[in-house]
Structure 1
Amino acid sequence: MTQYLLGQGKVYIAARDAAGKPKAQRWLGDVSAAKVGLKATKADLKESYSGQRSTVKSIVVGKEATFDMTLQEVSKDNLALALSGKPTSLVSGSVTGEVLPLALVAGDRVSLKYPKVSSVVITDSATPSVTLDPAKYDVDADFGAITFKDVAGVTQPLKVAYTHAPLESVSMFTAQQSEVFIRYEGINLAEGGTPIVVELYKVNTEPLKDLALITDKYADMAISSAVLIDSSKPADDEIGQFGRIIQVAQT
């Protein structure tokens, strides 16, 4: 009986506990591409008597597996996975005394620590301090930036007080690469939408290669991973120590 595969589905990720079992799983959202790759490293022996150096013995001395996927949803948690970073959620708050760079002149643009700002007040470093006339600068509230039109007669550095809206951020390279569990729950469109499940027990993800910031297409995040051997699993034919593919038996 012939059988083909044309798949779509959901990819889930989970942290592993100390025993290697997956914790609660999180759906990664729209994943436009996902594939598993296997590679065997061989030790070959070539004969030395025929003049052709033909291979007379070949044995497998190493096994490797990979998992590559492309994430379409640039969510906070997906970014943290792709950037090896940590997500942070900030409630709305206020900042006082944020010091700006020295030697500012008319026309200079500086950015604040946070975007989406309001109630901006700028003072100088004189004693007592002088509050700058708002007519002497422009505030880009969405991006948290200030462009100065006139700084004559003020004592630098200037200091800024403002409020900001709730914010979410993801840092880069601030988290250790962790080993995660990956589960694919798909449907095989080539076989009437029958379910197919792929489980990868111990996956080490790499940071994404690039994230297109200026483009005429939707940005995505391509992530490559190494599938490691999981010694907590039995080395049997049903479970294996790398992963397994489960599909409904054809009748």
Structure 2
Amino acid sequence: MSYQPQYFLGQGKVFIAQRDAAGNPKAMRWLGDVDDAKISLKTGKIERKESWSGERGKALSISVDKEASIDLTLMEFSKENLSFALFGKTTSTASGSVTGEQLTSGLLVGDRIPLKNPNVSAVVITDSAATPATVNPSKYEVDPKYGAITIKDVAGLTQPLIAAYSHGAVDSVAIFASTPDDLFLRYEGINLAQGGAPIVVELYRVKSEPLKELSLITDKQGDMKVNAEVLIDSTKPADGAMGRFGRIIQVSTA
């Protein structure tokens, strides 16, 4: 039989899923375009150097613990990915209208003040006089996309000013608003070095770290680098074929 080298050049999809009580994955969610995915392994050791030869040679090395992690570079800034990376909680706000929203007092010409909602329209500002007067739109400027007011003239106005407006639907992700669960991670890839042969990697129990940085102003395409620990899965038997951390499956195409 001739020797057949097996090289690897991988691309593919990364999925995450909640785990059920038995450690099995629930419905999986694709993370979208992932630019980089790397698994790292290491072991802790107890070592002994002998003291009889004069060379201090290593005489004993025992592996006493096992650690694994995975690094992912997410390229898609979906609300689901942001929630995953920021330990966030996603809230969807339906379109609607607001009345009686009080702006901060003491506004001066040139001040910019945000409304509580972006994507606004039909903005009407009144003042706080005994008989409230509608503020002439020439005295302020509305930035409808961002939901902000810039003051152009305060002459004759009794503050605080009061806003009424309509707004569109938005999704928001609150940072550090949830505690991450242990997740099941699955990579469904293709080995381009072997004619696109399928390969599957499963990590049974991963615990993600929060995003270390999120670049808001940059001269290149943004990404989210997420690191997750791979924890031992006690639902798997110690002597089982699947292992207790994960497995790599090379799918036969024969």
TM over 0.5: yes
**Does 1:142 find its partner at 2:145?**
yes
**Does 1:15 find its partner at 2:18?**
yes
Of the three residues 234, 239, 242, the one matched with 1:239 is 242
Which amino acid in 2 is paired with 1:41? G
Distance in structure 1 (CA, Å) of the matches to 2:212 and 2:132: 48
* Deviations 1:168-226, CA, capped at 9 Å, x for gaps: 11110001021100000000000111100000000001111112222221111110000
Asked if the contact 2:197–2:253 (Cα under 8 Å) also holds between the matched residues in 1, the reply is no
Provide the secondary structure at the position in 2 that maps to 1:213: coil
**Does 1:128 find its partner at 2:141?**
no
**Does 1:151 find its partner at 2:154?**
yes
Provide the secondary structure at the position in 1 that maps to 2:211: coil
* Deviations 1:118-168, CA, capped at 9 Å, x for gaps: 011111222222221111000000111110111122221111111111111
* Number of residue-to-residue matches in the alignment: 251
Of the three residues 93, 114, 126, the one matched with 2:96 is 93
Over aligned residues, Cα RMSD in angstroms? 1.3
Residues 60, 148 of structure 1: CA spacing in aligned structure 2 closer, same or farther, 3 A cutoff?
same
Distance in structure 1 (CA, Å) of the matches to 2:239 and 2:195: 30
Q: Which residue of 2 aligns with 1:111?
A: 114
Of the three residues 27, 39, 43, the one matched with 1:40 is 43
**Does 1:80 find its partner at 2:72?**
no
Moved more, 46-55 or 84-93: 46-55
Q: Which residue of 2 aligns with 1:177?
A: 180
**Does 1:230 find its partner at 2:243?**
no
Distance in structure 1 (CA, Å) of the matches to 2:69 and 2:248: 14
Distance in structure 1 (CA, Å) of the matches to 2:102 and 2:37: 47
Q: Which residue of 2 aligns with 1:60?
A: 63
Distance in structure 1 (CA, Å) of the matches to 2:78 and 2:118: 19
The offset of 1:249, in angstroms, is 4.8
The offset of 1:102, in angstroms, is 1.5
Provide the secondary structure at the position in 2 that maps to 1:173: coil
Residues 143, 250 of structure 1: CA spacing in aligned structure 2 closer, same or farther, 3 A cutoff?
closer
Query: Moved runs in structure 1, 4+ residues, more than 6 A?
Result: none
Moved more, 230-239 or 133-142: 230-239
Provide the secondary structure at the position in 2 that maps to 1:190: helix
Distance in structure 2 (CA, Å) of the matches to 1:18 and 1:158: 54
Provide the secondary structure at the position in 1 that maps to 2:138: helix
Which amino acid in 2 is paired with 1:171? A
* Deviations 1:38-86, CA, capped at 9 Å, x for gaps: 1100011111222332211111111000011111111110110011101
* Deviations 1:12-44, CA, capped at 9 Å, x for gaps: 110112222211001111111101111100011
Provide the secondary structure at the position in 2 that maps to 1:81: helix
Structure 1: runs of 5 or more not aligned: none
Asked if the contact 2:38–2:70 (Cα under 8 Å) also holds between the matched residues in 1, the reply is yes
The two structures have a TM-score, normalised by structure 2, of 0.95
Distance in structure 1 (CA, Å) of the matches to 2:222 and 2:91: 22
Which amino acid in 1 is paired with 2:73? T
Q: Which residue of 1 aligns with 2:54?
A: 51
Structure 2: runs of 5 or more not aligned: none
Asked if the contact 2:71–2:227 (Cα under 8 Å) also holds between the matched residues in 1, the reply is yes
Q: Which residue of 1 aligns with 2:207?
A: 204
Provide the secondary structure at the position in 1 that maps to 2:241: coil
Which amino acid in 2 is paired with 1:241? R
The two structures have a TM-score, normalised by structure 1, of 0.96
Identity %: 61
Distance in structure 1 (CA, Å) of the matches to 2:46 and 2:131: 79
